[in-house]
Chains A and B, each alone.
Chain A
Amino acid sequence: MTQAIATQTKTAATFKSLKCKECGSEYEPKATHVCELCFGPLEVAYDYDTIRRTVTRETIQAGPNSIWRYRAFLPVETDNPIDVGTGMTPLVRANRLARRLGLKKLYIKNDAVNMPTLSFKDRVVSVALTRAKELGFSTVSCASTGNLANSTAAIAAHAGLECCVFIPADLEAGKILGTLIYGPTVMAVQGNYDQVNRLCCEVANTHGWGFVNINLRPYYSEGSKTLGYEVAEQLGWELPDHIVAPLASGSLFTKIYKGFREFIEVGLVPEKDVRFSGAQAEGCSPIAQAFREGRDFVKPVKPSTIAKSLAIGNPADGIYALEVARKTGGNIESVTDAEIVEAIKLLAETEGIFTETAGGTTVAVLKKLVEAGKIDPDETTVVYITGNGLKTQEAIQGYIGEPLTIEPKLESFERALERAQTLDRLEWQQVLV
């Protein structure tokens, strides 16, 4: 008996079914994502008693240095998930940015350096593709605003899965190149993300592929919970007071919330109310508009913003994100493209972190909320930076200055330095005025 246990490659799965978030109908944990009765989203249901009995802070700390240290909270059966070092990204104490904004305890969860493709999407894809293999898929796919395509293509390559991704044709060059390199089939759709998404829903019905954010979505989205677990663990098994995260579909936001609640539920952290605030770009802010107007439904919009990774006009989890922000005493705000660019620079100049437009949106909203008195300076606040600035270079082109080109002579250097310092002084004077 002992031997049989020792040679098992699967420990008992901690999840048993998918459950409709709206009407509670239960389904077998297959590749399906909507309730057949009411079309509500399906979510993985876990056996928390088993998790509470078997998981401790110590067992987690003894696990791999990746999201898979939280395997008991993730919807896979195997003991050998696809582990490409995803997760356990730095939680940085951001003192300089905090001082600039007037906060006392600010942290940045830095998924700009998540592995392997430099965005939080590696978390959800690692989970989705592990589950895709368990469910027998040989081809995986996704509808992406860029980061997801990078991640799906890279991790599919690692796992030896066929891959076909769909993106809007007007994406940033870095995101297209960062997908093509892994050798998938890339469909650049002449339309916006919502049109790509709709097309993929139709393809998912007919081709028998595993679409990470369609028919595998219940598993995929659970990967975002690890952004909650890691912050709790990195804060010394405590929850923060307030988090600020970007909102595209709203899934990430609601799953960080779920992650915190699960850690409380199984006794890994003490009970605490965490405020949840969400960030959108003004050019695509259906959830922020609904929040502002006190609506409990989200009216779709047609996106027009430089924050392309957040440009989802018809957000699947919008209503749930609204609910989380409202019940936790948080806010949902939007910022202009100009504010996004300024915030990308602010984060880089104060903390040495170069984020993409989504991160700029989040930092800009953080700033706006602090200025409006909606974040208490004494709150321990965590800001989620979900992507890397090298992928969206177009957004800041023309706003960051130029290198000083000089001759290879000391005199030329001295002259240029003098000029640069004069310009700096002028800039300071302008700030003072």
Chain B
Amino acid sequence: MPVKVLVPTALQKFTNDRATLECSANNIGELLDSLEQSCPGIKGRLCDEKGEPRRFLNFYVNSEDIRFLDGTQTSLQDGDEVSIVPAVAGG
């Protein structure tokens, strides 16, 4: 089911400079795999060696941080918006 993904500038070299992508996934974990298929190499940047999202990246599903939801198991519905934002900002 199509989900909209907002990609930060630093990763747009993997997406042909596109800031938004569409992809199909039932949860964040699947979304990461699906992104890797359409943009090879991107998962290695989004996740650390253990396959967990990097600690300096925030993932939001419809504006809610996945750490307040179910982490990589957070389920996705048709039309959801997933935003990937570098964590180091503000203050």
**CB pair B89 A22 closer than 8 Å:** no
Task: Indicate whether B22 reaches chain A with its CB closer than 8 angstroms.
Answer: no
Q: Which residues of B contact A340 (CB under 8 A)?
A: none
State which residues 267-320 of A face B: CB under 8 Å: 297, 299-300, 302, 312, 314-317, 319
**CB pair B87 A213 closer than 8 Å:** no
Given contacts A195-B63, A198-B83, contact A217 B56 (CB under 8 A): no
State which residues 160-199 of A face B: CB under 8 Å: 193-195, 197-198
State which residues 198-221 of A face B: CB under 8 Å: 198, 200-202, 205-206, 211, 213-214, 217, 221
* Distance between Cα atoms of A183 and B55 in the complex (Å): 38
Given contacts A195-B63, A201-B85, A300-B67, contact A251 B91 (CB under 8 A): yes
A51 to chain B, nearest CB (A): 26
State which residues 67-91 of B face A: CB under 8 Å: 67-68, 83, 85-91
Q: Which residues of B contact A22 (CB under 8 A)?
A: 56
Please report the total number of A residues contacting B with Cβ < 8 Å: 41
Task: Indicate whether B45 reaches chain A with its CB closer than 8 angstroms.
Answer: yes
**CB pair B57 A250 closer than 8 Å:** no
Partner pick for A34 among B6, B65, B86, CB 8 A cutoff: B86
**Which residue, B56, B57, B89, has most C-beta atoms of chain A within 10 A?**
B89
**CB pair B6 A202 closer than 8 Å:** yes
Task: Indicate whether B27 reaches chain A with its CB closer than 8 angstroms.
Answer: no
- B 15-28 binary contact with A (CB < 8 Å = 1; else 0): 00001000000000
Given contacts A213-B89, A248-B91, contact A38 B56 (CB under 8 A): yes
Q: Which residues of A contact B63 (CB under 8 A)?
A: 195, 198
* Distance between Cα atoms of A195 and B64 in the complex (Å): 9
Q: Which residues of A contact B60 (CB under 8 A)?
A: 198
**Which residue, B10, B65, B83, B91, has most C-beta atoms of chain A within 10 A?**
B91
* Distance between Cα atoms of A332 and B9 in the complex (Å): 35
**CB pair B58 A314 closer than 8 Å:** yes
* Distance between Cα atoms of A198 and B55 in the complex (Å): 16
Given contacts A39-B54, A39-B56, A40-B56, contact A314 B88 (CB under 8 A): no
Partner pick for B55 among A34, A252, A297, CB 8 A cutoff: A297
The total of Cβ contacts below 8 Å across the A-B interface reads 86
B64 to chain A, nearest CB (A): 10
For B8, give the chain A residue with the smallest CB separation: A205
Task: Indicate whether A143 reaches chain B with its CB closer than 8 angstroms.
Answer: yes
Q: Which residues of A contact B88 (CB under 8 A)?
A: 33-34, 39-41, 217, 316-317
Task: Indicate whether A4 reaches chain B with its CB closer than 8 angstroms.
Answer: no
**CB pair B83 A316 closer than 8 Å:** no
Partner pick for B10 among A36, A252, A316, CB 8 A cutoff: A36
Task: Indicate whether A37 reaches chain B with its CB closer than 8 angstroms.
Answer: yes
Given contacts A34-B86, A36-B10, A198-B85, contact A312 B56 (CB under 8 A): no
Q: Which residues of B contact A114 (CB under 8 A)?
A: none
Task: Indicate whether A249 reaches chain B with its CB closer than 8 angstroms.
Answer: yes
For B84, give the chain A residue with the smallest CB separation: A39
* Distance between Cα atoms of A37 and B42 in the complex (Å): 11
Given contacts A205-B19, A314-B65, contact A38 B91 (CB under 8 A): no
* Distance between Cα atoms of A39 and B85 in the complex (Å): 10
Q: Which residues of A contact B6 (CB under 8 A)?
A: 202
**CB pair B89 A39 closer than 8 Å:** no
**Which residue, A37, A221, A252, A297, has most C-beta atoms of chain B within 10 A?**
A37
**CB pair B45 A37 closer than 8 Å:** yes
- A 120-159 binary contact with B (CB < 8 Å = 1; else 0): 0000000000000000000000010000000000000000
A393 to chain B, nearest CB (A): 24
- A 21-65 binary contact with B (CB < 8 Å = 1; else 0): 010000000000111111111000000000000000000000000
**CB pair B9 A314 closer than 8 Å:** no
**CB pair A312 B90 closer than 8 Å:** yes
Task: List 19 A-B pairs, Cβ < 8 Å.
Answer: A22-B56, A33-B88, A34-B10, A34-B56, A36-B10, A37-B45, A39-B45, A198-B83, A200-B90, A205-B9, A205-B19, A213-B89, A249-B90, A249-B91, A300-B67, A302-B68, A312-B90, A315-B91, A317-B91
Closest 9 CB pairs of A and B: A249-B91, A39-B56, A197-B90, A41-B88, A34-B86, A214-B89, A36-B10, A316-B88, A251-B91
Which residues of B come within 8 Å of A, CB atoms? Answer: 6, 8-10, 19, 45, 54-58, 60, 63, 65, 67-68, 83, 85-91
